[in-house]
Every structure is written in structure tokens, then in C-alpha cells.
Chains A and B, each alone.
Chain A
Amino acid sequence: MRDSRTHPYIPNSNPEVKESMLAFIGVDSVEAFYSDIPSDLRLKSPLNLPPAIRSEQELVHHVSRILDKNVPQSRLLSFLGAGTYNHYVPAVVDEVINRSEFLTAYAGDPYEDHGRFQALFEYQSLMAELLNMDVVNVPNYDGLQAAATSLAMAQRITARKKILVVTPINPDKFSKVVNYNAFNLQFEFIETQSQQPDLLAIASALTGEHAAIWLDSPSYHGTLCSNISLVADLAHKNGSLLVVGVDPIAMGVLASPADQGADIIYGDIQSLGIHCWFGGGHGGFIAVHDDPKFVMEMPSRLFGLESTSVEGEYGFGDVAYERTSFALREEGKEWVGTAAALWGIAAGVYLSLMGPLGMVEVGKSIVARTRYAAMKLNSIKGCSIEKWSEQFREFVIDVSDSGETAKELIRRGRNLNAEIGVDISEYQILTCITEMNSESDIDELYRIMSEILEA
């Protein structure tokens, strides 16, 4: 039987109110407002959807029973990374971003949403300190988009169309970047030498057609790049740019590529106080020097500081708005719209809480744990870690000597309630260690790897 009670989300669905509003407007029925929709476009029967669950109590029950089927990482032994990372989220971060005022704000101007403008200006500023770069955007969608747009910017700035890729790149990211830039960019690859960009090969490959050299540090394999300055010199002598992807969680201990000649730095902010969300918690950043040649090519909004009519009062607004698709439609730079602002606020709160010492401590903790895990696992027969370059958070385990495939070992690990890593080729496992993995977790990983390799 149809439930005719007024729906709690639709106050004017109360029949008496509806009638009185229709009478006020002077029509008999809501059909009058649909008179422009031709009858052959009208649905003749109701949508074929499951029955409604109208009471909140039953709705909670229904959705919760489905979600109960998930097992969170906190109940697994998890060493998964490859794009989404298990870092600690301080309580204050969630407290702030779950505030109604932030959660349900949207497109208000800098007066009614002064707080949103200030929080995002502060996010830009905190990221800028981390990266030693003067300009950071309001977050775009994610690190994939940030990579794609950084390279598109390089194309526009140099009016060249080739990109030289010199470190391993996450294949999902590369898929996005190639599809995004299908009509304006071509990609060429230089294999690394001892896990580092191959300077000789880069020097001989570079031509006047190269818009940029692109490297990630840490790379897809977790390797830190120790010769960025030299790569930057090669790029700049060729009139090309250097575009570098980083993970900001490393920046408390890692020298900024900005100080080593990078022209554009990009990445993802998920590691800064945003939960994993099954891969649904990402935001992208792009940082450049305060040079209008670069700034004017950025598609995202940039919130800037201003004075107001009252002394000592901060006002905010959009910097160089006339670059954007909001102002110019297709004549703007790519496009701008709803992206990942709330995650930007989360990252800002995270960096405010962590402070300089927290970022140094978490960086060192990850460096130490990564080294410890690699050392332990490398001692297992059948388990060999890439020739020791400096790794951050992730490393590749080569299991080819064991005779077992990566997939099979991961399956065995799962039988022991462990996620030992991600298979990135038939015999390679990408394993991720964060500050969330204690010594005993890592020792347990060692024990499980030993066990499944003997099985």
C-alpha cells in the first residue's frame, strides 16, 4: 500500500500545501508546468526501481547490512599502496571537515564564505611551505588530474608537444595522462639506470620538440630520485620544463624538487589526513613559482589575500579569474568546477596539527620502517628487493626465484588475513609500509612471507 505520509525531505509534498501553492499560481495541476515536454517524451509508467525505504530507521538497517560485508584494513594486516595510502588521520581533521558549515557550503562569495576562502588560502600556504614554492592551487580532482594538467600546462608554456618520461609511473596515472592529452602530447620513455633517471640517455633523446621531462619521486616503485638537479639542468638547457610528481607526506624529510630546478610540482593530497575511502578520497595539487607565465596557465581557482575597508581585516578573492572556464568558457585554461575543496581543508588541518616537527617525524618514521621491512624481507629466500636505491614507503619485491607468481603469493597471504602488496607484473609485488605499520606488523609480514614462500 502506498505510504501517503509527507516525506521528511520534501516539506511541500504535504497535499494541502501543494494544493494551495498550485491555486496561488493559478493552475489545476503540476502537469501545467510540464506542458513543454512533448507527450512522446513523457514516461508512461513509473521508473522501475526497488521499493522505497521511507523510514530512516529501516534505511540505516538496509545500508548498514550491505556495508557490514566489508572488512576494513584495521582488521587486516595491510601493506597496500599503489595510489591510495593508509596513513593516520588525526581526530581534529574529521571533526573540522564534518562540520555542517563546511560540508554543505558551495559557491558562496568571499563574504558569506569567508571561512572557506581563508581555510583554502591557508591550505595553499601550508602546501607552499612544504614544497618551497610560492603558488599552489585550490585542489583539483586528484593526483591523476594534477599530472595530466601539469603536462598540458608544459605544452602550452613551451608550445612543444613531446614529454620525456624518465621514471616508472603508476599505470593508472599514465592511462589518465595519455587519454587526457591525446590530441596535444606525445610520450617517450627512458628506462632508468640503477633505478635512477638515465642522464646520458636523456641528454641524447632531448630535442627541440620536448615540452618537459616528467619524473615522479617517489616513483611508482617507491624510489626517490637523487639526481633531480642534473635532470633539471638537462631540461632547461634544452628549453624544456621539469615536471615532478611528489607525495607531500615525504616532504618533511625530502628536499623539495623546487630547490633542485623543478618548474612544476604536482601530486595527490590523500596522504595528508584523508582516509582511504576505497580509493575515493583523492585531491590533486599543482605548485609553480610566482611567475605569471606559469600561473596564468593554471586552470584551478587560486584564492588570494586582500585588504578590506577595515584596518587589520583580511579579505579574500579569486586571483587572475580571467584565466578560468568560469570566466571564458572554452577560451579559459582547460576547465574549473567542483573538485576536492573539502579534502584541501582536511589537508590544511592536517599540516596545521603536524607542524614542522610532526612532518619531520612522520617522514623519518616511514623512511625507517621502509628500510627495516625491505631488510627483513630481502633476507627471505625467493624474495628479492630491487637493488637498493633509496625507497620511500614502497618497494618492489621480485619473487621470480621462488617459482611462484605474485598473484599466487598474494592469494596465499589473503588466506592468512594479510594483504602483502599489489602485483605489478607476473613476478613483482609492490609493498607499502607507512607509519601505521608497527615493528610487530612488519615482523608478522616477514613471518607470513616466509610461510607462504615455503607453502
Chain B
Amino acid sequence: MLPVAQKPKLRRFHQARWDEPIIFELSIPGERGVLVPEVEDNILKNVDMDLPKELARANAPKLPEIGQMKVLKHYLRLSQENLGADLNVDIGQGTCTMKYSPKVNDQIIRRPELYDLHPLQDPAKAQGALEIIWRTQGLLAEISGLDAVSLQTSSGSGAIWSNVATIRAYFESIGEKRDEIVTTIFSHPSNAATAKAAGFKVITLFPDENGYPNLEDYMKVVSHRTAALMITNPEDTGIFNPHIKVIVDLFHQFGALASYDQANANGILGITRAKEAGFDLSHFNLHKTFSTPHACGGPGAGASCVTAKLAKFLPKPIVIKTGDKYELDDDRPDSIGKVAPFYGVLPNIVRAYSWIMSLGAEGLREVAEVAVINNNYLLKNMVEIEGASAPYAPGRPRVEQVRYSWDELFKSTGITTEEIGLRALDFGLHYWTSHHPFIVPQPATLEPTESYSREELDEYLDVLRHIAAEAVSNPDIIRSAPHNQTVHQTAHTDFDDPARWAITWRAYLRKYPEVEERMAGIHGH
């Protein structure tokens, strides 16, 4: 009966729950999902289509047989069982810049003039693709202040790898053997991991009470064995290290390079750049700062930016403009070669280009400023929640994100940050703790970006306030969460036992023969 009563403050969310079988269980012998064109009679008059016995597969692969609509339905149901950025107030995945990916950019790329281009076709017939790559290289050069850009990699860590490989090539070119890389614990773990994969010894510095390592710590570790500093700034705490230029200069004094992890540059677009702090290399993630969708974990797109001194080492080819023609410059003898196929993830390069063009210089600065206002708005509210705090540099502002701690809440209630995250799901919100190891105890990392309105930030805060109160009044509802999700609490007994884990359906059936017997019983028709 009208009128409808006022809605409660917290959303009564429930995630889709389709109780969907594994795709192999949908198989009905004889069903087809899609047909392949038959081979023309005249071809078969001339050649046959079977491989010789020594090459031929004996039996068709044991893929499921499923009609088209059932395949569609299965995957659409699975799609509904995801909480993408388009559906949630996605500010709980700090460091990852879960901003709005404009739909117009998804539409712009869905045309054969992009998806049906072959990388080795006549460049004269791919001028539009090359032009966008060239323009995007130029935009990112200006945004970083560095001189040359490669867009070849498909992710941020790929771009960091490209930078590590460039550092290695640089020292080889000048005949210096340097085997150490210095990073910080609040820089993304891929800095340490890619450096190790490239053969470097990794030295990791830890913060003092300000949230970043002090200058003396850097002075203790830098030497003529140091190849480079690889650092994020602001680090994952959201605290900008004001001594960054002094630190970069220090590394330069020892002949080392400095590489800037700008995967997330969202709070400082148009404010400060790699160039001003003296960095030799930097990288951007187009899927973070520059809005391309995160796609369940890729493809993203990485941009490696370097100074003129290092430009010759960039992956090849680079897109250049000669007169009014766009060309692929493959004649780069000092290049580190290929880091990824061809010229990069073109759909994402076009999306990022379009996003930058929709904003321009003033718009990018507006992005940064609003992201930072949103973040400090959250900070002001968060530290007032009982049990939450923002470790390091008390009273100081943060840039684009904050690493919070629920340690006080944990000590008084026993509720962990992981449990808070699972309870937040009941309200349709994503929440993340932090990278490992947990230097900040019971960590949570929030990054609101510029995309969410004040009301949405308030919704997120209301849920965290509610959970913090529940931790005192009704901790069992948190410990037994999630309650409103696709599935219930999942066992963790078999993920680390090689005899019991099941990484594929066939391995599952092999290790647990009773399952196949059960299925045979059901499908006895």
C-alpha cells in the first residue's frame, strides 16, 4: 500500500546466487554451441583433411557439448556473480585506482577498424591505429615529463619489467656491473619481484614514523653496486615523500638510475611529475590512472617512460611520425627487443587516449584534486570510527589513498581486517587489506578516486561504521559472513595439499573418482 516506507540506511543487498554447475556438468552428448563452415567439395577433391597417424589425435578432446543458449546463460549467470566497479562503490581496492571506465570508450573500440586489424598489415592501411599510439605516447611523455614512451606491455608489472630490463641494458652499454636494486616496503611488490627476476639483489627499506624510510637508511645502502632505486611515491600509505628529489640525487651521485612506479599517479596529475624529481624512468598503468577497465585482471596496458638518455633501449618498435605518415621504427639496435607482442593492447590504448582527450590538462588536474579531496574526506571520517586509525605521520594529509589499521578494533574485539572485508560484501561493497607482508597491522587500503560522489563515499563509511559497531555488539555475524553472497564460507583445507587440490575438472575427477560415478548415475539416460 502506498506510500512506500523510507528505505533503511544500509542497502539490503543480496548478490546473485544461481547455484550454477561447473560447465562440464551441462554437457548433453550431441548438442552444439556453434558450427564451423564445411570444407568446400572442390578442396576435398584435391586434398584430404586428416593428419597422418603419427600426428593425429586419437580421440576428440573431452570438452562439454552444450547448445548455444545454454552456454550463453551459463556465462551470463557467472557474470552476474561478480561485483565489478560498474556496480559497487569500488573504493576498497586501494593502490588500484578503481575509477569509472567510460562506456563511450568501450563503444568506440568495438568496430572492425580496430578489432579486425592485423599487426603486420600494410601500415598505410593502419594509419589510424598508429596515429593513436603516437598521440598517446606524446600525451604520456608530457604527463610524466620524460622524453620517450613505449606502450608495448599489457600491464603495470610488465612495464616495470621493461624498465628493469632497460636499467640492465644501460649498465651493460657503459660496461658497469651493478647487481643491486633498492626499493621500499610500501612500493608495489612487483618492483622487488621484477628486479629479482632480472637477476638483481633486492634491498628493501622500511619506514620510520613518518611513513617512509629516512634519508640515512638510503645512504647506508646506496653504493657503486646499486643499479637503481625503484620506488612508488606517494607510497601505498598515500604519504608523499618530500625528500624524493634528494634521494634521487643521492642515487645519481653513485651513478645509479632512479625508476618511478607511477602505476597509480591519480593524485598528482598535473601537480608534479617524474621529471621534476629527477627520475630517469617511470611507468603508468593505463588501467589505473587512465581509466581502462580492469577486465577481471587484464588485459591492462603499461606505459614505460624514459629520459632521452635511455630512449634507445626502449622495446621495439616505437611509433614515429615522418612528415604526415605514422611509421613503425624497428631499426633500434640498442633496444631491449620485444617485451610483449607487437605494439601493445590497442583497445586499451584507444580507451586511454579517449579518456585523456575528454579531460585535457585542466581536467586531469581536476581528477587529481577531487581524488585527493575525496581521500581526505574519507580520512577525516575514518579516523573518527572507533577502532580505526591511520598509522604514520599523525595529522598529516594523504594524497590519493590511505593505509588504515583496524588494530585497535582487533585488540578489543578479536575481529580481523579480513573478517571486516567479508562482512562488507554483505552490503555489496568490495574491501581489500593490503599487499603482503602486513607491515601495518590489520590493514585496509581505501582509494576513492575522483569517480564517486560524496553520497557514495558516505554509503561506504556507513557500512564500515556499522561493521565496527557490530564487532562490539554482534561479532558472530561478522565471523560467519558473508551471508548475502553467491556462496557461503568456503573451506580452505585442500588448496595447499598437492594430493588433494583440484586445479582443473579433470584433476578433480581423477582424484575423487566417486564424483564421476555419481555423475554417471545422474546422466544414466
The CA-CA distance from A306 to B512 in the complex, in Å, is 12
* Contact present for B127 and A70 (CB under 8 Å): yes
Known: A34-B372, A175-B337, A306-B494. A47 touches B84 (CB 8 A): no
Q: Residue A308 contacts which of B55, B113, B491 (CB distance < 8 angstroms)?
A: B491
Known: A50-B357, A306-B492, A327-B436. A115 touches B337 (CB 8 A): no
- By a CB distance below 8 angstroms, the chain B residues around A51 are 360
CB distance from B346 to the nearest CB of A (A): 4
* Contact present for B397 and A76 (CB under 8 Å): no
**CB of A32 within 8 Å of the partner chain:** yes
Docked complex: A171-195 residues within 8 A CB-CB of B: 172-173, 175-176, 178-180, 182-184
Docked complex: B91-150 residues within 8 A CB-CB of A: 93, 96, 98-102, 104, 106-108, 110-122, 124-129, 131-132, 139, 142-143
The CA-CA distance from A281 to B450 in the complex, in Å, is 29
* Contact present for B359 and A118 (CB under 8 Å): no
The CA-CA distance from A9 to B31 in the complex, in Å, is 45
* Contact present for A12 and B346 (CB under 8 Å): no
User: Quick one: closest B residue to A217, CB to CB?
Assistant: B55
Q: Residue B336 contacts which of A35, A82, A179, A330 (CB distance < 8 angstroms)?
A: A179
- By a CB distance below 8 angstroms, the chain B residues around A126 are 23, 63
* Contact present for B244 and A41 (CB under 8 Å): yes
The CA-CA distance from A166 to B308 in the complex, in Å, is 39
* Contact present for A108 and B83 (CB under 8 Å): yes
The CA-CA distance from A142 to B338 in the complex, in Å, is 12
- By a CB distance below 8 angstroms, the chain A residues around B121 are 71, 73, 76, 78, 80, 419
- By a CB distance below 8 angstroms, the chain B residues around A447 are none
* Contact present for A365 and B87 (CB under 8 Å): no
- Count A-B pairs with CB separation below 8 Å: 711
Docked complex: B460-514 residues within 8 A CB-CB of A: 482, 485-496, 498, 501-508, 510
**CB of B167 within 8 Å of the partner chain:** no
* Contact present for A95 and B72 (CB under 8 Å): yes
Docked complex: B182-204 residues within 8 A CB-CB of A: 189-190, 192-199, 202, 204
- By a CB distance below 8 angstroms, the chain A residues around B451 are 9-11
- By a CB distance below 8 angstroms, the chain B residues around A129 are 61-63, 505-506
Docked complex: A310-339 residues within 8 A CB-CB of B: 310, 312-322, 325-332, 334-339
The CA-CA distance from A63 to B364 in the complex, in Å, is 19
CB distance from B79 to the nearest CB of A (A): 4
**CB of A426 within 8 Å of the partner chain:** no
* Contact present for B504 and A125 (CB under 8 Å): yes
**CB of A444 within 8 Å of the partner chain:** no
The CA-CA distance from A17 to B453 in the complex, in Å, is 9
**CB of B245 within 8 Å of the partner chain:** yes
Interface-forming stretch among A206-214, A235-243, A251-259, A395-403?
A: A251-259
* Contact present for B487 and A32 (CB under 8 Å): no
Interface-forming stretch among B213-221, B254-262, B295-303, B404-412?
A: B295-303
**CB of A425 within 8 Å of the partner chain:** no
CB distance from A253 to the nearest CB of B (A): 6
User: Quick one: closest A residue to B435, CB to CB?
Assistant: A326
- By a CB distance below 8 angstroms, the chain A residues around B74 are 352
* Contact present for B488 and A313 (CB under 8 Å): yes
**CB of B66 within 8 Å of the partner chain:** yes
The CA-CA distance from A2 to B277 in the complex, in Å, is 30
Known: A60-B104, A330-B193, A438-B40. A107 touches B338 (CB 8 A): no
CB distance from B481 to the nearest CB of A (A): 9
* Contact present for A118 and B20 (CB under 8 Å): yes
CB distance from A329 to the nearest CB of B (A): 4
Known: A49-B356, A86-B118. A317 touches B47 (CB 8 A): no
- By a CB distance below 8 angstroms, the chain A residues around B116 are 72-74, 86, 275-276
CB distance from A266 to the nearest CB of B (A): 14
- By a CB distance below 8 angstroms, the chain A residues around B15 are 111-112, 114
CB distance from A212 to the nearest CB of B (A): 18
Known: A66-B131, A355-B65. A304 touches B340 (CB 8 A): no
- By a CB distance below 8 angstroms, the chain B residues around A332 are 193
User: Quick one: closest A residue to B364, CB to CB?
Assistant: A47
Known: A84-B118, A341-B298. A36 touches B344 (CB 8 A): no
* Contact present for B343 and A105 (CB under 8 Å): no
**CB of B380 within 8 Å of the partner chain:** yes
Docked complex: A373-406 residues within 8 A CB-CB of B: 375, 390
- By a CB distance below 8 angstroms, the chain B residues around A124 are 503-504
Known: A43-B273, A282-B341. A315 touches B490 (CB 8 A): yes
- By a CB distance below 8 angstroms, the chain A residues around B157 are 335-338
Q: Mark A282-324, 1 if CB is under 8 A from B, else 0.
A: 1100000011100100000011111111101111111111100
**CB of A164 within 8 Å of the partner chain:** no
- By a CB distance below 8 angstroms, the chain B residues around A178 are 337
**CB of A56 within 8 Å of the partner chain:** yes
Q: Mark B314-345, 1 if CB is under 8 A from A, else 0.
A: 00000000000000000000001111111111
CB distance from B182 to the nearest CB of A (A): 12
Q: Residue A342 contacts which of B37, B299, B504 (CB distance < 8 angstroms)?
A: B299
Known: A279-B119, A352-B71. A76 touches B125 (CB 8 A): yes
The CA-CA distance from A152 to B197 in the complex, in Å, is 10
* Contact present for B197 and A226 (CB under 8 Å): no
- By a CB distance below 8 angstroms, the chain B residues around A2 are 362
* Contact present for B189 and A326 (CB under 8 Å): yes
- By a CB distance below 8 angstroms, the chain B residues around A96 are 72, 75-76, 79
Q: Residue A329 contacts which of B127, B193, B339, B349 (CB distance < 8 angstroms)?
A: B193
Most A Cβ at <10 Å: residue of B72, B79, B501: B79
CB distance from A409 to the nearest CB of B (A): 13
CB distance from A264 to the nearest CB of B (A): 15
- By a CB distance below 8 angstroms, the chain B residues around A372 are 43, 46-47
The CA-CA distance from A36 to B393 in the complex, in Å, is 11
Docked complex: B239-294 residues within 8 A CB-CB of A: 239-242, 244-245, 268-273, 276-277, 285, 287, 293-294
CB distance from A33 to the nearest CB of B (A): 4
Query: Would you list 24 pairs from A and B whose C-beta atoms are within 8 A, ordered by A residue?
Result: A10-B451, A11-B451, A21-B454, A30-B373, A34-B271, A36-B239, A42-B272, A47-B269, A69-B128, A103-B84, A104-B294, A120-B296, A129-B506, A135-B507, A178-B337, A253-B57, A275-B115, A278-B342, A279-B342, A306-B490, A335-B157, A336-B157, A359-B60, A368-B47
